């Protein structure tokens, strides 16, 4: 009995193993063929997408051109607004520069007048405590008047009353007036130089903004012309309208 079972096991197991090996090889070969040629799995009723027609391509390009023209037009309008704002800022800076130059010129004229007077012999007055007290009161009154006119700052006024930075109440009133005029002139020169720097910066900003507006306006016109067969009238020159006018720079005729 045991011999029959053993005989059956020995004869049937190799046959089953051979069958499973054959099925495995067939399955592996089929998967390999399908992976190498996937197009055979495509159904017959699923065709490839058709290429766009010339009409569809032209319509898509027209949409792109219209969108681009709209975007460029918006950018050109924004650039023109910026250019107008920068030009207005430059005009304001130019007016401030003119006022600064006028203030410096007046202060320089006054300083030169007092400098000429200071070259004359100083009037002889008695060097008494009363005289020195009178000179101090004169200096304080002159400094306060200059402060209320805006010619002296609070710090400079403090120097006058504290007798610092060259302020000496014992000097003759003529010398004190000459010193005040020189301090005022120097301050006006600093104000003018600062205003000149602001004007130059505003000029450069206005020039760059005008050039950007010009380029964008021309591009917007070209983009609009590509949308319509009949060209529209050419736009007015933005550079001519928004660029700062050519004016002479204000410079002090004399410094010192």
H or E segment at 246?
Answer: none
The region of weakest confidence among 6-20, 59-73, 128-142, 156-170 is 6-20
pTM above 0.85, yes or no: no
| C-alpha closest to that of 144 among 193, 84, 136 | 136
> Residue 152 in contact with residue 181, Cβ under 8 Å?
no
* Segment 25-47, tens digit of pLDDT: 666 666 665 665 555 555 555 56
Between 181 and 171, whose confidence is greater? 181
* Segment 183-231, tens digit of pLDDT: 899 999 999 999 999 999 999 999 999 999 999 999 888 888 887 755 5
Could you give the CA distance from residue 26 to residue 125 in angstroms, rounded to a whole number? 133
Residue 2 confidence (pLDDT): 46
Judged against a pLDDT cut of 50, whether residue 131 lies above it is answered with yes
Residue 151 confidence (pLDDT): 80
* Segment 63-96, tens digit of pLDDT: 777 888 888 889 999 999 999 999 999 999 999 9
Compute the residue count for the chain.
Answer: 256
Residue 94 confidence (pLDDT): 93
Could you give the CA distance from residue 47 to residue 36 in angstroms, rounded to a whole number? 20
Query: Which span out of 58-67, 94-103, 115-124, 158-167 was modeled with the highest average pLDDT?
Result: 94-103
Q: Which CATH architecture has domain 56-123+172-242?
A: Orthogonal Bundle (1.10)
* DSSP of 134-195: HHHHHHHHHHHHHHHHTSS-HHHHHHHHHT-TT--TTS-HHHHHHHHHHHHHHHHHHHHHHH
Mean pLDDT of 147-176: 80
Could you give the CA distance from residue 145 to residue 139 in angstroms, rounded to a whole number? 10
Domain boundaries, the chain: 56-123+172-242
């Amino acid at each position: 009995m045991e011999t029959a079972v053993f005989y059956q096991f020995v004869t049937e197991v190799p046959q089953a193993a051979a069958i499973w090996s054959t099925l495995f090889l067939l399955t592996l070969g089929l998967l390999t063929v399908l992976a190498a040629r996937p197009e055979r799995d495509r159904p017959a009723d699923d065709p490839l997408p058709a290429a766009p027609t010339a009409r569809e391509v032209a319509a898509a390009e027209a949409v792109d051109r219209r969108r681009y023209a709209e975007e460029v037009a918006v950018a050109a309008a924004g650039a023109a607004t910026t250019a107008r704002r920068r030009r207005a800022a430059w005009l304001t800076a130019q007016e401030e520069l003119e006022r600064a130059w006028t203030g410096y010129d007046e202060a320089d004229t006054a300083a030169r007048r007092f400098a000429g007077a200071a070259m004359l012999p100083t009037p002889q007055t008695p060097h008494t405590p009363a005289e020195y007290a009178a000179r101090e009161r004169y200096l304080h009154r002159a400094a306060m008047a200059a402060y209320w006119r805006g010619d002296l700052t609070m710090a400079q006024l403090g120097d006058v009353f504290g007798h610092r930075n060259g302020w000496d109440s014992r000097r003759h009133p003529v010398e004190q007036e000459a010193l005040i005029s020189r301090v005022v002139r120097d301050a006006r020169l600093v104000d003018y130089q600062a205003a000149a720097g602001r004007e130059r910066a505003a000029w450069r900003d206005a020039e760059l903004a005008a050039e950007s507006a010009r380029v964008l306006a021309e591009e917007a016109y070209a983009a609009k012309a590509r949308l319509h067969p009949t060209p529209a009238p050419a736009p007015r020159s933005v550079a001519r309208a928004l660029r700062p006018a050519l004016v002479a720079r204000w410079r002090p005729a004399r410094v010192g």
